[in-house]
Amino acid sequence: MTDLETCAAPSRAGTLRRAAPALLGYAAVRALGLLVLVLWSAARDKSAYTLLTARWDALWYVRVAELGYGYEVRLPNGDVHSNLAFFPLLPWLERTVAAVTPLSYADGGFLVALVASLAAAWGIFAVADLVYGRRAGVCAVLLWAVLPVGIVQSMAYSESLFTALAAWSLYAVLTGRWVTAGSLALLAGLTRPVGIAVAAAVWAGAVSSSVRTGRAGGPGGAPTPARALPRAGATLRTPLGTVGARRALGVLLAPLGTAGYVLWVGRRTGRGPLGYLEVQAGWRNGFDGGYAFARFVADKFTALPSALAGMGLIVGVASVVWLYVLGVRRRQPLPLLVYTGVVTALALCASSYFGSKPRLLMPAFPLLLPLATALAEWSRRRSAWVVGAMASASALYGAFWLNGSGPP
């Protein structure tokens, strides 16, 4: 299905049953990653749980949950690291969990990450299943699970929460549930700055839907695949005015999360709409079109060991671009292409934290769809061996990574 606009979807229970193999496979991969991390950390006399819940960004989220906004660290070089750089939804959830359970804020972050990672896997399956079929959906989830930095999905970070909200918002766009899509985009915008990518996808889907509606003279304009047809007795069409109103409401809701937090930071700092950018500048982070990243890669070509790393970075970036071009050539639905394009551009063109780019690309799961459709065409035995090998490599790399420099 390529010219997809909106399709009816099965019931929630039916969707969960259909997704069960993907979710079980995902849970197995993540369990393997956590087991290897525990064993590796124990051998180095470190706490795996601390690495997952109380290091790097996870510690900053806990501070927001515990102390609120206003905490900052001034470095010797004059840089100011303010916790205003971190969007509020994850700390709010951590605080909620701590308020209703005996768990700490860090425990709450870990619990949210575990639940959100399963919700993200389910959402990725739902999108891929809708567009390419069930087996491709299972493969997409497994490929997302075995990413080299897949261990982040189990950390008290916001990546899993954001991916879950983004995936289900995209699914809602593709199935014509505009208010749900806009509401989830709003929440995604309260989770990470890249939430604007979800809002852009909702806007793109709304424009595409409106154009198709005008051409077709009704609320639907694209053929509905057989596997997505509603059950007997379901309503096939919705009054055009109702569809238009819901679509408009979804479009209005989508950017409110990102815009609301950015404007609030500007008011708190007294810097207006540019206040959040100044907060990010204190972390030496910003958007420069990829210039700093290009210089970082070029600087690697000064000696043989680092030159090999530089070549690896070039191959990695080329692979990401190639996968995106494949998605365009195979006519992925426009909302997926817009979402992936914005996430990828913001990740690759940020001016700092170069080691974090694989983590920042993690929510761009539609990049995996061309690989998932290819893997789905293989025999079950062959694909199982490939995924198993990748899962083992991902588990080993994740344990090595977190016990080393780890993610900033």
Give phi and psi for 378, each to the nearest 5.
Answer: -75, 165
pLDDT at 58 over 60: yes
| Amino acid in the structure at residue 250 | G
In a domain, 177, yes or no: yes
Q: What is the pLDDT of residue 119?
A: 98
In the structure encoding, which two tokens stand for residue 46, read together? 């470190």
In a domain, 178, yes or no: yes
pLDDT at 226 over 50: no
pLDDT, tens digit (0-9, with 9 covering 90-100), for 86-102: 999 999 999 999 999 99
Domain of 370 in residue numbering reads as 12-223+243-375+389-402
User: Which candidate, 235, 219, 175, 237, places its Cα nearest to that of 15?
Assistant: 175
Burial of 354 (0-12, 13-18, 19+ CB in 10 A): middle
Query: Rounded to whole angstroms, how far apart are CA atoms 342 and 195?
Result: 10
- Quote the mean pLDDT of the chain: 90
In a domain, 160, yes or no: yes
Do residues 189 and 213 touch, judged by C-beta distance below 8 A?
no
Query: Rounded to whole angstroms, how far apart are CA atoms 392 and 287?
Result: 35
User: Which candidate, 213, 44, 8, places its Cα nearest to that of 130?
Assistant: 8
Burial of 74 (0-12, 13-18, 19+ CB in 10 A): exposed
In a domain, 407, yes or no: no
Query: Rounded to whole angstroms, how far apart are CA atoms 295 and 242?
Result: 52
Burial of 315 (0-12, 13-18, 19+ CB in 10 A): exposed
Model confidence at 406, in pLDDT bands (50, 70, 90)?
Answer: confident
Q: pTM value? A: 0.91
In the structure encoding, which two tokens stand for residue 203, read together? 């806007």
Query: Rounded to whole angstroms, how far apart are CA atoms 399 and 13?
Result: 35
In a domain, 384, yes or no: no
pLDDT, tens digit (0-9, with 9 covering 90-100), for 376-398: 999 999 999 999 999 999 999 99
What domain count does the chain have?
1
pLDDT, tens digit (0-9, with 9 covering 90-100), for 139-160: 999 999 999 999 999 999 999 9
Do residues 406 and 51 touch, judged by C-beta distance below 8 A?
yes
Neighbours of 363 (CB within 10 A): 31
In a domain, 2, yes or no: no
| Amino acid in the structure at residue 51 | L
In a domain, 230, yes or no: no
Average pLDDT, integer, range 214-230 = 46
User: Which candidate, 245, 247, 246, 264, places its Cα nearest to that of 256?
Assistant: 264
Model confidence at 223, in pLDDT bands (50, 70, 90)?
Answer: very low
Looking up tokens 């070039």 gives 314
pLDDT, tens digit (0-9, with 9 covering 90-100), for 350-377: 887 788 899 999 999 999 999 999 999 9
Q: What is the pLDDT of residue 408?
A: 75
Going from the C-alpha of 151 to that of each of 32, 140, 267, the distances in angstroms are: 10, 17, 36
Least confident of 20-29, 253-262, 398-407: 398-407
Do residues 7 and 175 touch, judged by C-beta distance below 8 A?
yes
Burial of 169 (0-12, 13-18, 19+ CB in 10 A): buried
Query: Rounded to whole angstroms, how far apart are CA atoms 85 and 283?
Result: 8
Q: What is the pLDDT of residue 288?
A: 84
In a domain, 229, yes or no: no
Compare 308 and 186 and report the one with higher pLDDT: 186
Do residues 165 and 207 touch, judged by C-beta distance below 8 A?
no
